[in-house]
């Protein structure tokens, strides 16, 4: 509306908010965006991008060790943590600059500071109020730390990316993808790494075979995994800490990292005052069009706690912009969203797990293989790769694909297209493989896994 300052005001300049702001502006809307921290949000500044850069850096230890089997007179050289962190920081600063330029080039008005809703059409930032027709909440999530004695000694994934020195001994609390990824990084860089997992197994929500395989490989690499336990208290000082668990274990370490989940970042931004309904854990409740309980207020990304992945937030932000400002209504399909855990080795999946497929479709067929990759026949490494297809026995449609092993995320991304398109096992079988590759195993699996009674890991 012309009598308001903006057509759209976006609170939060992470991946979802930036995409929504930029596309809305290109559709002709008058757009403002506010951010109290750095542009780029969780993914670019304190999440998947810096974490994967550290994972790349830590993977060189394997490369140096494996080279000997191929004739190289190689040794593992000295590693310098500050050099890696400095290189990471420079890349993150470069990416943040790109995000800022994308917004200004599109005509978006950037406003520095924390945004707060005064009412459904007014946002206050740094003491100044702006009126707007529509509001988009894209404030993401924030790591949580349980309320236990000594919690002040612990860090989260935010601080883990900027440690001044590599810890000699580290305890990682949690069994999700963030915990698994940091365990791989620290272990590969030489830290003595222990994981405390509340459930029966790592990576709740992923396929059980993949979870078991991941735990097997991580243990083989020297990571200690304690399941069915969690910290009870943390003692010590800067010279060292002791974590006491609910199983009366005592684990000494130099650093404690809590990777126990994230909560939607909704506190103190005026949502309740504006009448926006919140769900469990403070998540903003939205419909399929990302609309909240207030007609002109929308939300995308992790703050809605739907699927907390950067590409999902970007897709939601783009769909919102097209729907509201381009006259092209479309909602995001949250089915068959591929995901990856950049552990060592990595895990990736798309579609339904075996347990989910059995619950939804009843009769299913399972195809699974486990093998030693060709590379390791010379490197001498004992690492294995696991691949699995979940198939609807009645229609032959492939319901899920799961992989643990080198290049799993790159391979599963391609399979996600096939599964989204409704490919059948017959389509997979008719596809000629590229030889010799690991990926060809997905089109050469012919033997069904015999039916068996399984107990799902929790």
Question: What is the per-residue pLDDT for 2?
Answer: 64
* Region(s) of the chain under CATH 3.30.390.30: 345-443
Give the chain's residues under pLDDT 70: 1-2, 452-458
- Is residue 435 annotated as a catalytic residue, yes or no? yes
Owner of token pair 């092209």: 328
- Check residue 288 and report its DSSP letter: T
Catalytic pick among 27, 75, 402, 435: 435
Residue 49 to residue 95: CA distance in whole angstroms = 10
CATH architecture of the domain with residue range 151-260:
3-Layer(bba) Sandwich (3.50)
- Residues listed for the chain: 458
Given 3.40.640.10, 3.30.390.30, 3.90.1150.10, 3.60.21.10, which CATH number is that of 345-443?
3.30.390.30
Question: What is the per-residue pLDDT for 237?
Answer: 77
Structural element, H or E, at residue 399: strand 398-404
CA distances from 399 to 131, 148, 396, 423 (A): 47, 41, 9, 9
Homologous superfamily of the 6-142+263-325 domain (CATH): FAD/NAD(P)-binding domain (3.50.50.60)
Structural element, H or E, at residue 60: helix 60-67
Contact (CB, 8 A) for 398 and 414? no
Residue 341 to residue 345: CA distance in whole angstroms = 9
For 81, list phi and psi in degrees, rounded to 5: -60, -45
Biggest distance spanned by C-alpha atoms of the chain: 73
The model's pLDDT over 183-198, given as tens digits with 9 standing for 90+, comes to 999 999 999 999 999 9
Question: What is the per-residue pLDDT for 1?
Answer: 54
Residue 46 to residue 227: CA distance in whole angstroms = 27
* Region(s) of the chain under CATH 3.50.50.60: 6-142+263-325, 151-260
For 370, list phi and psi in degrees, rounded to 5: -140, 125
The model's pLDDT over 282-316, given as tens digits with 9 standing for 90+, comes to 999 999 999 999 999 999 999 999 999 999 999 99
pTM of the model: 0.95
């Amino acid at each position: 509306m012309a009598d308001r300052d903006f057509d759209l005001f976006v609170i939060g300049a992470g991946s979802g908010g930036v995409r929504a702001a930029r596309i809305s502006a290109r559709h002709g809307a008058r757009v403002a965006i506010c951010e109290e921290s750095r542009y780029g949000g969780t993914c670019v500044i304190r999440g998947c991008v810096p974490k994967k850069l550290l994972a790349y850096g830590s993977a060189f230890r394997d490369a140096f060790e494996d080279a000997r089997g191929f004739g190289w007179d190689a040794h593992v050289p000295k590693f310098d943590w500050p050099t890696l962190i400095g290189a990471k920081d420079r890349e993150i600063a470069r990416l943040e600059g790109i995000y800022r330029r994308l917004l200004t080039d599109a005509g978006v008005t950037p406003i520095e500071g924390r945004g707060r809703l005064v009412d459904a059409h007014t946002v206050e930032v740094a003491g100044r109020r702006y009126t707007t027709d529509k509001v988009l909440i894209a404030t993401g999530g924030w790591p949580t730390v349980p309320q236990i004695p000594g919690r002040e000694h612990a860090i989260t994934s935010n601080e883990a990316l900027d440690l001044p020195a590599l810890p000699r001994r580290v305890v990682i609390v949690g069994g999700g993808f963030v915990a698994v990824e940091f365990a791989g990084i620290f272990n590969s860089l030489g830290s003595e790494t222990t994981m405390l997992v509340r459930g029966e197994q790592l990576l709740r929500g992923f396929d059980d075979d993949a979870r078991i395989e991941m735990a097997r490989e991580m243990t083989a690499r020297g990571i200690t995994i304690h399941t069915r336990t969690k910290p009870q208290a943390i003692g010590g000082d800067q010279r060292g800490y002791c974590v006491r668990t609910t199983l009366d274990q005592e684990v000494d370490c130099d650093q404690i990292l809590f990777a126990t989940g994230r909560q939607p970042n909704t506190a103190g931004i005026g949502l309740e005052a504006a009448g926006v309904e919140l769900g469990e854990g403070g998540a903003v409740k939205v419909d399929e069009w990302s609309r909240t309980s207030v007609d002109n207020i929308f939300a995308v990304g992790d703050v809605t706690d739907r699927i907390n992945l950067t590409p999902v937030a970007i897709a939601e932000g783009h769909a919102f912009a097209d729907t509201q400002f381009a006259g092209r209504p479309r909602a995001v399909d949250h089915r068959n969203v591929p995901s990856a855990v950049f552990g060592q080795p990595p895990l990736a999946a798309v579609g339904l797990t075996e347990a989910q497929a059995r619950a939804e479709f009843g009769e299913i067929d399972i195809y699974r293989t486990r093998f030693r990759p060709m590379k390791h026949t010379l490197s001498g490494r004992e690492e294995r790769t696991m691949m699995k297809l979940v198939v609807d026995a009645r229609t032959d449609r492939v319901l899920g694909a799961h992989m643990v092993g080198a290049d799993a995320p790159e391979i599963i991304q391609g399979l996600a297209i096939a599964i989204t398109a409704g490919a059948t096992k017959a389509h997979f079988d008719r596809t000629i493989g590229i030889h010799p590759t690991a990926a060809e195993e997905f089109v050469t699996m012919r033997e069904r896994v015999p039916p068996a009674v399984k107990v799902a890991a929790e």
